[in-house]
Structure formats: C-alpha cells, structure tokens
Chains A and B, each alone.
Chain A
C-alpha cells in the first residue's frame, strides 16, 4: 500500500486497518483456544494433580499420596483390571467384524448401482438412533426369556442362553449394538476413500485379466491404507471409552453385571466418581484409561500398517 512509503503520516484509519489485519486473526481463533484451555487442558492437568491425592467429595482435606491411587487400582481393585480386559475384549469383538463387513459393503456400494444415494441412506440409517436408544432396543433382542434371539434359537432347538451372565455372551450382545450403529458410517468413510482411487488402475488391471476379487485385494485394500489407519484409530478411541451400551445392557446400572463381567473402564471411572465420590481414585483411573488408549492406538497402527505391506 502507498501509505507505507509515506511513512510518518498514518491516519487513524490506517492504524485501525493495520491493527485489524494483525490482531483480528487471533481474536477469531481465540474462542477455540480459550474453551480448549478451560475445558480441555486444565481438566487434564488437574486430573493428574487429583490422581496423586487422597481426595473425596465433600471433604476439603486432601493429602498427597503419590502413586497410591494407581497402585490401588492396579493391584487391589480387581474390577479395574477386569474392566480393561472387558473393554479390550469388546473392542476387538466389535471392531474386527464391523470393519470387515463395512469394507465389503463399501465395495458393493462402489459398484454401478441404481439410486446410490438411497442405498447409502439405508445403510446409514442406524446413525439416527442415540446410543441409549440402541441399548434399549438391543437389550430386548438379547433378553433371556422373551428376547428375539433366544426365540430364534429355540426354534432350531437350542436352549435359552442367559446372555447377561456369561462374559463372552454379554460381550457378544454389546458388540452387536456397536456394530449395528457404526457399520454404515464406516462403510461410507471407506466408500469415500474408494472413490478417490484412480479408475485407470482398475482399467489397467482388467486389461491384464485381473478378476474383481483380485483387484479388490491388490488395488482397493492397499489404496485404502490411510483411511483404514484413520478408522481403526477412531474406533479404538471410541471402543476404549465404551460406556453407554454396556450400561443400558445392564439395566442402566454402572456395575456391568453381577460380577462386573461387562463393566468397562469408563464405567468403573464414573462409578468411583458418582457412587463413591472419590476424586483421587477416579482421576487415576482416567489417566490409566488414557494410557491404555495410547497403547491400543499404537498397537493398532503397527498392525494395520503391517497387514498392508504396501510401500
């Protein structure tokens, strides 16, 4: 601008303009960082502080106890370790078949279909239900006495199964809720990625005589690697913080079945906080859960990265 050359005389308007160009960007992004600091960073740091103290709701006295809260969770409170096992188990049970089916569905949606949008919406429809609603409906499917699943099993001569009592059976039922709600969503994400794969790759492969199935394994899957990593990451964070489905499966309670057979770590955390009012231990559970998420995400990354083997 010309004003810059005629240096000394800046009108107030120029100054204002300069201030606007320099400062306004910060003003525009500041709401995010303020809220992130208040509701994200501060709680995280404060959780660390709380986890090192013996500290209970309604009791202003807190004493520094070092890592005792962590030690208690890891060595004395059996429910915590089991909750990690349960959470991991349900995560694997829910995620692996879900992503496999989602890949197949995405591959089907990626073909020359009539009314593609209708198909996509049908597949995506479960997303309209809240997790609570899924829990309400599916808990009835898996009911022991009158559930539809046991009814169907009865027809083919299999005795009624008490899905809630067993560890694996309850995991299985809960996984079905997760799969039902998220499979369509993940299919669309895979489909979006498939559509960005250059078509000439397929054309060339067809010329070379590769079958659709070969093309799926040799072209589609390797090309999907980034989105697979992304999806597995998102699923592992979601899976490791699983809460509502098992709670609704267990009649809205936090204990995850009589023996905690389907109690997840997030449920343990909330239970310690809400039922026992123990800040210190629930904060430690929060950090341990965070660590588990980090480990699971890293392992998943390594696994997915390897399976493809396409560099």
Chain B
C-alpha cells in the first residue's frame, strides 16, 4: 500500500529484512523507542561510553586543529588542542599546489565513485528483484553463488591477473580500469533481495501482470519506488566504500592521475612530507565529502549497517 513512499519516521525499524525468517511475519518491536533497553545505564556506563565517544572523535578533531595551525604546533606535549586561524589559507594552498594533485584526485574519485554507486544501485535492484520475486530455473543455485562470492576475498586473490589484464588492454592509468571491477557486488544484490521480499507484496506484482505489465515495467513502476529507502542506504554505503578504496587504484593508476586517496598518500610521503598542517589539510579535504554525507544521512547509514548485519 503505502510502502512505496513509506517515510522512515513512521517505521524506523520496519525494513528489517534480516530477522529470522520464521518470525518475519510477526512484529518484532512493540516499543516506540529505538533504544528501548531493559536496563537504565549506570554512571560507569555513561562515563565509559562518553570516553569511547571522545576517543572516536578526537583524531578527527585533532586533524582539524593541526590543519588550521602551523605544523610546529603539533609537536611538543601537550600539543595544541584548539583550532587556529589558518584553515582557509591552507585549503587554498592545498587545492592550488600543482604537485599535490588534490583537485584532480577529487575529480577522479567523484567520477569513479559516482559511476560505481549508480551502477551498483541499478544492477542490485534489478538482480535483487529477480531473486526475490521472479521464478526461474536455477535461481536458488545462482543466489547461493552470490552468497558464496560475498565470502571470498577475490580482490586480493585476483589482483595479479586483473593487473595483467589491464596491462594487456593498455588500460593502466585509465579510470575505466578502476571502475569496471566494482560495478556490481554480491552484497548489493543480497541486500536488495532481502528488502524486496518484504517491501513488495506478491499480489501487486500478480495484479500488474494481469494488467499486462512487462517484467521491466513492474520493476520500474512498482519495485523501484518501494525500494527507495534501501537504495539510499546501499548508495551511501557503496559511495563510502569506494571513495575510500585504495589498493586497486594504487595498482593501476599513476601518481600523475590519482584518486583522492592516492593523492593523500602522495602529499604525506612526498609533496609535504615535513609539513604536517598541509598534510592534515589535504586529508581533511579528502574526508569532507564523506563527512557531509555522514552528517546529512547519518541516521540512514546507522540503520543500513545495523540492518545489513543482524542475521
């Protein structure tokens, strides 16, 4: 019914496809609060949690502090702990220094990550829909293959021949070499299948078929709108993962044509190896896109991680 546009506010825990299968039909939570724990936290718990949260934030905070001051402020003990006033100047210098390649890195990373994210969303909704709602021979075996492939660290194992292939194709130092192997992954299909199974009622699909809708038409008009919340989560996770990807771009791209992560390695080991505030400024720049996503969509990211796991 209204699942298509289901606002997350009304049902924050609703898309929990990972719950035990036999219990799926039952509602799991009755309480309205997300963290409706049984016990009240003790003072120790609160202090401990606050300490861990502080440890989580401190390195990020300190990066901003040093990026906004001069390098010598980072040495000595206690080190500087309050931001200075040089951040704007440093960012400008970082972005315009031709040896730092940060702008090119940002551009390349945006192209790669954007393409990969759109592709993963598109192909995962197609495949997930097929596995969840369509009957076809061999679907069980094929799905088992998908699950198995999620378990195997193919990237490390296959990196040698993949690199050889790229050499043969003369694709070294091209963006397509970085993009193509990541266009789809098992996790996306698995996640979309789980979500589709409970977000799209079979009756609606049957009804659309009787009305003469094609499979692709059903996908476009019924499945995609229903999957929208899951698509957002998958898109966010994919974007974060690929923005931070290092090993494969490191293998196939050169320092002259880097992703943002390669550019950070470059500035920290060569360009400014002695200038900590410039290194931290560059690092800060590399984090900003993900940090913005995290601040805007943090709720979805938290839900996505929690739902994708609780088997």
The chain A residues found within 8 Å of chain B, CB to CB, are 17, 20-22, 24-26, 28-29, 31-33, 35-36, 39-40, 42-44, 46-47, 50, 57, 101, 104-105, 108-113, 116-117, 119-134, 136-138, 140-141, 145-146, 148, 151-152, 154-155, 180, 183-185, 188-189, 191-193, 195-196, 199, 202-203, 206, 212, 226-227, 230, 233, 237, 240-241, 243-244, 248, 251-253, 266, 269-270, 273-274, 279, 282-283, 286-287, 289-290, 293
Contact = CB atoms under 8 A, between A and B. Distances in A.
A24 B159 contact: no
Given A28-B134, A116-B34, A188-B305, A122 B294 contact: no
| Shortest beta-carbon contacts, A-B, top 7 | A151-B77, A43-B158, A116-B35, A146-B75, A252-B269, A192-B306, A192-B310
A110 B52 CA distance: 15
Interface stretch (B89-97, B124-132, B224-232): B124-132
Contacts of A124: 56, 298, 301-302, 305
A145 B72 CA distance: 12
B287 A133 contact: yes
A147 B200 CA distance: 55
A25 to B, nearest CB: 4
A32 B184 contact: yes
Interface of B: 19-20, 28-29, 33-41, 45, 48-49, 52-53, 55-57, 59-60, 62-63, 74-79, 123, 126-127, 129-131, 134-136, 139, 142, 145-146, 149, 151, 153-165, 167, 180-181, 183-184, 186, 189, 212, 214-216, 219, 240, 243-244, 246-247, 250-251, 261, 264-265, 268-269, 273, 276, 279-280, 283, 286-287, 290-291, 294, 298-299, 301-302, 305-307, 309-311
Given A20-B215, A151-B79, A269 B160 contact: yes
A185 B214 CA distance: 41
A287 B273 CA distance: 36
A25 B136 contact: yes
A286 B159 contact: yes
A196 B247 CA distance: 36
Given A113-B37, A193-B309, A39 B126 contact: no
Q: Give the dominant DSSP class at B's interface.
A: helix
Given A32-B123, A36-B145, A112-B40, 20 more contacts: A24-B216, A25-B135, A28-B134, A39-B181, A43-B159, A129-B287, A132-B264, A140-B276, A152-B77, A183-B56, A199-B38, A233-B151, A243-B247, A266-B247, A270-B247, A273-B159, A279-B164, A286-B157, A286-B158, A293-B153
B74 A132 contact: no
Nearest to B183: A35
Most buried by B among A132, A146, A269: A132
Contacts of B35: 109-113, 116
B131 A29 contact: yes
Contacts of A180: 55-56, 59
Contacts of B154: 39-40, 43-44
Nearest to A198: B28
Contact of A279 (B19, B155, B160, B212): B160
A252 B145 CA distance: 37
A17 B29 CA distance: 42
A114 B130 CA distance: 41
A137 B156 contact: no
Most buried by A among B136, B160, B165, B305: B160
Contacts of A35: 180-181, 183-184
B311 A230 contact: yes
B305 A50 contact: no
A274 B251 contact: yes
A108 B48 contact: yes
Nearest to B139: A25
Contacts of A244: 246-247
